Amino acid sequence: MADGTEKHRGIELSVFGEPVKGVRLIAGGTYIHGTEENTGTPANDGNMPIGVPTMMFNVNAEYDGRCCKA
């Protein structure tokens, strides 16, 4: 965006745990509400900025294999 500003408001939540010894799970989610403001073009004010996702989710798992124990 050449003129104006972007405002991003949202929330991010993460959870993690070790359900079984040696296995760790991590998960998260993000909700973002982005808007363009003071762009100089009234039709663009209030629009969602390009490249800003509304929702994102991620999941990660880690495992301690036998070859990795000290």
Tell me how far apart the alpha carbons of residues 49 and 2 are, in angstroms, rounded to a whole number. Answer: 12
**Position with higher pLDDT, 68 vs 22:** 22
pTM attached to this predicted model: 0.67
pLDDT at residue 69 is higher than 80 = no
Kindly report, residue by residue over 8-44, the tens digit of the pLDDT: 999 999 999 999 999 999 999 999 999 999 988 888 8
**Position with higher pLDDT, 1 vs 20:** 20
pLDDT of the residue at 41: 85
Residues of 31-60 as b/e, b for ≥16 C-beta within 10 angstroms? ebebebeebeeeeeeeeebeeeeeeeeeee
Tell me how far apart the alpha carbons of residues 70 and 65 are, in angstroms, rounded to a whole number. Answer: 11
